[in-house]
Amino acid sequence: MSSIIYPVTNLAAVEQINIVSGKGVYVYDDAGNQYLEGLSGLWCSALGYGNEELIAAINSQLETLSYSHLFGGRTHPVVIELADKLAAMVPIPDAKFFFSNSGSEANDSHVKMLRYYSNAIGKPQKKKIIALDRGYHGVTVAAASLTGLPVMHSHFDLPVDALGILRADCPHYFRGKVGDESEDEFVSRLLRNLEQMIFDEGADTIAAFVAEPLMGAGGVIVPAEGYLPKVQALLNKHDIFLWADEVICGFGRTGNDFGSTTMGIKPDLMSLAKQLSSAYVPISAAVIPGAMYEAMAEQSADVGMFGHGYTYTGHPVACAAALKALEIYERDDLYARAATMGAHLQSRLQEYADHDLVGEVRGKGLIGAIELVANKETGQAFADGRVGAFAQRACQNEGLLLRAVAGSSVAFCPPLIIEESQIDEMIEKFGRALVATLEYAKKENLIE
């Protein structure tokens, strides 16, 4: 065992796989075994591994300017170019970008900027943020507080109340419906609950509502039909920002530029990371509208500065990687390709819908999940994560890296460059793993 504290790991039972290299959609361990990377690492390696153009752009930037900071208004051409490029892409008027290294930092930056802004506009009470049950927004103190997964809160004593974070219903119809409620009725009930929450708390105390357009780590949940556009209409009525956490969905994952496009919403704020640079160098961005920036700028004049920023904000090498990744996505029409390949992935995943262990098959574009259940008739979930963990290991034994998320949902999120034959390879490997998983669940008496 090395001296590393492993993230999001059972520290008392670290199981190791030592990945030493990667090429295309495959990675290789220290024993030379090949694995199809079915989750793009952690939902991020859009262009797969060993992309020579990206590597050349990164190397060239390292030679020209390996580092420069942005404090006090110092700047450099690569960050300016990236911000201009992104401003032309996002659906936010006169968008401004705060760059950092990770999705969590982007979200923490948003929490701070929302607070800064509420003070700037003379509404210091308008600071609460509504976040969804089972939403995932990262692990820094504020981002983890927004996250709605109990395991990410356990034993950390997070300042959820101090930050004014309110928890709204998860819009997962399969898990959340009551009795024989239709999907429409389910959405109406959730909207009524949300409106009641806004009424009880007071709209003038709520700054924003944050959601992933498609919820990733919480189980790859496609929000119930019509839910997000209806939420947007409600928020508009109450002057509350809609904040889309696009950390997974952004840059083609759901078959469009952003998950917001796929879900038919037009957010006020966005968080971008992961595929922004195809994970070759860490970079993220918190995106706000120009009008919000103007108010913040005026206020910063009072104190002489906007007191937030990281050593690596706008790191030139990360910006160069992002610019090249965006250029490749556009040139190779990868968002449309994700839609076409995504349709193939979704239809192949559906082949497992009738399997005894499968409760729901869901997804959009090149992201999907198969939820394993203890009782196919009733959809009863497994009591713990043993079956999901077994399925993940069984996939690994077949040479396929997937992740069981939120207990027993096996997530698929391959690189956007995946070929149809490689999707087929992934599905077949998963099929064999599913046979082994069913045997295990039966042997352990975990099926009802």
Ligand X SMILES: Cc1ncc(COP(=O)(O)O)c(C=O)c1O
- Residue in this structure with the two tokens 């892409």, named with its chain if needed: 89
Contact 168, 131 (CB under 8 A): yes
Supply 209's token pair. Answer: 């509502």
| CB within 8 Å of 346: residues ≥ 6 apart | 363, 364, 368
Which one among 35, 97, 136, 335 touches ligand X, defined by CB under 6 A?
Answer: 136
Torsion of CA 249, 255, 261, 267, to 10 degrees: 10
Element (H, E) at 46: none
CB of 42 to ligand X, least distance (A): 6
Smaller CB separation from ligand X, 102 or 437: 102
Smaller CB separation from ligand X, 191 or 248: 248
**Interface with ligand X includes 245 (CB under 6 A)?**
yes
Distance, CA of 248 to CA of 12 (rounded, Å): 29
Which one among 104, 254, 256, 275 touches ligand X, defined by CB under 6 A?
Answer: 104
Supply 207's token pair. Answer: 């700054």
Smaller CB separation from ligand X, 273 or 328: 273
Supply 2's token pair. Answer: 């090395």
Torsion of CA 386, 390, 392, 397, to 10 degrees: 160
Which one among 38, 41, 48, 103 touches ligand X, defined by CB under 6 A?
Answer: 103
Which one among 212, 257, 360, 371 touches ligand X, defined by CB under 6 A?
Answer: 212
Which one among 41, 48, 138, 223 touches ligand X, defined by CB under 6 A?
Answer: 138
- Return the residues of window 35-54 that contact ligand X according to CB under 6 A: 42
- Return the residues of window 416-445 that contact ligand X according to CB under 6 A: none
Which one among 38, 171, 216, 365 touches ligand X, defined by CB under 6 A?
Answer: 216
Smaller CB separation from ligand X, 216 or 388: 216
Burial readout 19-48 (b: 16 or more C-beta within 10 A, e: otherwise): eeebebbbbbeeeeeebbbbbbbbbbbbbb
β pairing state of 26-29 and 19-23:
antiparallel
Size of the site for ligand X (CB under 6 A): 15
CB of 440 to ligand X, least distance (A): 28
**Interface with ligand X includes 148 (CB under 6 A)?**
no
**Interface with ligand X includes 102 (CB under 6 A)?**
yes
**Interface with ligand X includes 137 (CB under 6 A)?**
yes
CB of 212 to ligand X, least distance (A): 5
Smaller CB separation from ligand X, 104 or 346: 104
**Interface with ligand X includes 247 (CB under 6 A)?**
yes
Strands (E), 328-373: 358-364, 367-372
CB of 253 to ligand X, least distance (A): 10
Q: What is the DSSP string of 115-157?
A: HHHHHHTT-TT--EEEEETT----SSHHHHHH---HHHHTTT-
CB of 123 to ligand X, least distance (A): 27
What is the x/- site pattern for ligand X, positions 396-415, by CB under 6 A? --------------------
Contact positions vs ligand X (CB under 6 A): 42, 102-104, 107, 136-138, 212, 216-217, 245, 247-248, 273
